[in-house]
Structure 1
Amino acid sequence: MHIDTVNAQSTTVHPHPRATPAGADYAFGDFALYPARKLLVRGETPVVLGGRAFDLLVALVARAGEVVGHHELVAAVWPHAVVEENGLRVHMSALRKALGEGPADQYVLTVPGRGYRFVKPVSASLAVSRTQAQGPRLGRLIGREAALEWLARGLAQARIATVTGAGGGGKSALALAYAAGHARRYPDGCRVVDFSAGQGPALAAIDSLRERQALLVLDNCEQALPLAAALAQRGAAASRLTVLATSRAPLGLHGEWEYRLPPLDLPAADAALDCRQALALSAIALFVERAEANSSRFALTPSSLPSVVKLCRALDGLPLALELAAARVEALGVEGLAARLDDILLLLTRSRRLAGPRHASLEAMLDAGHRLLDEPGRTLLRRLALFEGTFSRAAAERVCAFGTLGPAAVAPALAGLASASLLTAEREPGTTRYRLLHTTRRYARARLAASGEEALVARRVAQADY
């Protein structure tokens, strides 16, 4: 977790001609700001301000005079969430209204194409000016309480733990939440190496932590699995270092403790729920929270609930997919999204200005997993696209084994897809059945259509007993 130090010489907070009010961290105009108390006061009167607007104010005031980019503000206020620019504008408008801003008395200046700048002179308390920035604040994880408990138990016993699961399932967010919540267990701190950003820093991170009681998070290990496994083993050989990895596939190391992260909780296909019962399910709770952040018009009501349930089920309870969908609610409405599930891979993209590379689109996430497969795995994945529900290995062999993919290659390819979290293996007494997530099946079907094999595979599926 990269920590940037901010000292008194480099701070961007402007000096103010009067002293900061007692106890306040920042003062500007007639206002005093107390971030830890979630309090803004004008004169002697507290100002009513929503939580997201308050967080925007803190982020801007702490860097008064600087242009703070759209992406930086979203990362500060909605960490580990996908929020589009319209959601940012809604809360920025609420902030300006609460400050009583007018054309002749501006607090926040919009810098077209770049972001926002807090333009009033700000004074900071001495304590704030000497504080070190602790890196990005971690947001509330929804529906992952049990996963965090499992992870804590595993790391109490193992030197290497790996969180595995489908792409977009929230593995990185879980690992960072664990690191933030168990900081006292690692007095020498935490270091994160993200393999999606390249492999260069990995070896240096291991060597710098070898003699420390620290946590090393190896994130997105599927991007360089052999190197990640070698580094994890090297790190765990150090006497006091603990390694936590995230990957679509396990590292395959002796003594590795694996936790497979499931999707968020979804309602059953035939469940009859009211809004209160629906919000008790983590997939729906996440979607609703993010949709409300992105749209001033969205609300979960009895009339919108069926579309929300349909959408959440179609997106398999995957946090990234749900957040990308929530980001499109303002433009398309939840009913419009639910009606266009056939186009969902194209619809679920972020604006380029706000998108980080890992959150750019649902299709990009699936592309990343597809690139890691060998040719038998890619062939099998697209040929499995026409199976509805679960299927057996024998059915996969009957339907998919033709041409360049022989019968003997199907079983190892199935195992590879399951290991890479592109296929769900459901073990039943005496057998194992397999299933593609809805999102993966839509992706695979597009690949099948492009291959020219769709008509042949459709005939073989129609004749198969699966």
Structure 2
Amino acid sequence: MGDAPPHARVQYRFGHWTLDPDQRLLLDSATPVFLQGQTFDLLLYLVRNPGRVVGKDELLKGAWGHSCLTDSAITQAVRRLRKALGDSGRRQSIIRTVHGRGFEFLPSVQVDVCQPRPPDGGWTWPRLAPVLAGFLIVAVLVVLGVVWRPGHTPSTVAAKAPAWRLLIEPLEGLAGIDEEWQWLVEGLPATVEALLRDHPAMEILGSAAVPELLELPPGQRARGAGADLYLTMRLDRIDGRFSLFWQLRQPGQDSDLRSGDLTGPDPGLLVRQLVDQVRNATTRGSFPVRVAHKTVLDDPLAVELYTRAMQAIASEQRVAAAKLLDAALTRQPDSALLQVALAKARFDPANQAGEALDGYQELIDQIPDAEPIARAWLAHELGTELWFYGNTRAAEAFLEEALALIEPHHEPLLRGRILNSLAFVQQSRNRYSVAWETALDAERLLRGSDSPYFLSMVLTNLGYLAEDFGRLLQAREFHLEALALREQIGVDELTAASEYGIARIERRLGQLARASQRLETNLERSGVDNRPFDRFDNLEELAEVRMRQGRFAEAAALLDQAGAIAAESNDEIGLAWTDEVRARLGIASGQVAPELLARIEQARQRFEALGEAQEAFTARLSAVEIMQMLGQTGDSGTVLTSLKDHPALANPVHQIRFQMILARQAELARRDEQAEELLTDALKRARQLGSVDQEAAVALRLARRALARNDASSAERFVRIAQRWSPEHFRTLALDERLHQQRSSTR
């Protein structure tokens, strides 16, 4: 294809299709066909390269400008494009899959050069219109008392993000609301949130999106979520009539921006009236347009059925919720809102077989292509649920689909949340480098979203990822920044979570007394506030500290307490973690038995069942160390051989631990030279990585070897390395004392 003249407008024609890149428009004859952003970019790249096979790497970089997406994301985009063009994976009359190589665009493509575009420097009415609209936006916001968030100007917000973020608060009041109307408690706020989601100027958050902030007062909760406005609602029932009083406020302001008092016998009608009044109060004038989905829910009975269904879902009554939503869809079959809710109601965590997953995908596909945000919300929620229940492979596919459904510069908060969830899943699947880049993408988006709560979440995730990579100082910085944000928000549970993350890093940096003090303070608070999962985490981590201090009996007692909490809470992963730490406690104390090997094997099986591939791998390593201590060197050698190509070894921290275990296997086989080489290389790797606790652990191994061959000089050098990073570790103290005694005896 030849190059078009400067400023020329180019169109591509194939068959009865016309593709206009300038207008981002696809025409079927003269009928517009909706394509989501990434799907359009895929088609554009293929029609510019017809008749040749385009590889997946080329598609990622050429069509989308990056390489973070997986094969699953490409497959989903191709499937959506085929559907739009009337093609299919079976027919492949337009897009042919060349297995192992990529995709080929089959039709011949004609390039039409149309009327030239005006040069960039020209002032024309279409260029003036956004400027005038921007002035109008500012004027309206000033009248309403709403200011722009820092870093956002009318022009950038108009292109990239909604003007405001609105938090829907939980329902208050409920005087005179008997059991018959309890479905309104959760259902009414959820319905208001859903009906406002297509607001042209607002990003809507429900209080369920920020569960840790529910203990805060409304204004403070909104500030923590980064909301510009918040909506409070009070519902009472007097003499058979409902009274719904609402207030629209700004955080930090005592007076209402808008308020209203609605009365009537039907709560469903009151919800519609409330939504209309809030919409009217916040859409006067021209506002930045955001990608929206149509709720198509204006039938009063459908509204009531939806509200009842939301309460049923909140109460885990999914079958009842599905029946209510099926009834609502008979009245409004085109409602994307009802279709999303029905898919959530039909999600069955106990059924994650291939047929069920295909069914979930069909539920997403049933939502019209013109409703990408509705589809993205559903894919995000399904992906998050699947991850929670251990199906990380399916979770990754759904989350990647959710990401692909949103234009890169739209819905930054939603994109950031999806990316953060995706990073967790990728980490669980041992895809460390990809998880790191995904989390960094989430951080970049959420730093611009002005939401301390969600930013603190991704910073905490980055802290744990950096810790997994051995980047301990970087991990501490992430946790400290998250802690500062959470202290501003003022939620003890969030603050304690960051304190726990910092204590983990302090323990690995060898600051055992400081970590111990932080964890003991956390335990006191969690006991008072009755937070069992926080208590479990801190008990387990304090056991890790006591283990390194050589206080093994205390560590075992702490693990007993943590295990009891996990058992009482039916916390499968907590039980597995407890058994894994018990195994390492046995290794550290030298107290191993066949029963301990059986326990760590049970933990590994639990981790695998929950989709925690990384934890299952580390449990396998602990099992090998126990085998070595029990003299089962044949079995340990077999397992080590089977693990040498394990994907978890892409993590350099795991590589170092694996190398230390290989060195122990060489020692048992009396291959001392090989063991020394392995440990020396592991020491170098740990130092380069910055994994200081591993550097100290390897140095202690080398010091013991040096003492065994009466090389006091080398032993002292290695002990000094351990003292730099693990001065309080019981092995460091023991070896230093042994060296001191040896020096004294030679004087």
TM-score, length-scaled by structure 1: 0.34
- TM-score (norm: length of structure 2): 0.23
User: Which of 1 and 2 has higher RCO (CA within 8 Å, sep 6+)?
Assistant: 1
Q: Which structure: larger Rg?
A: 2
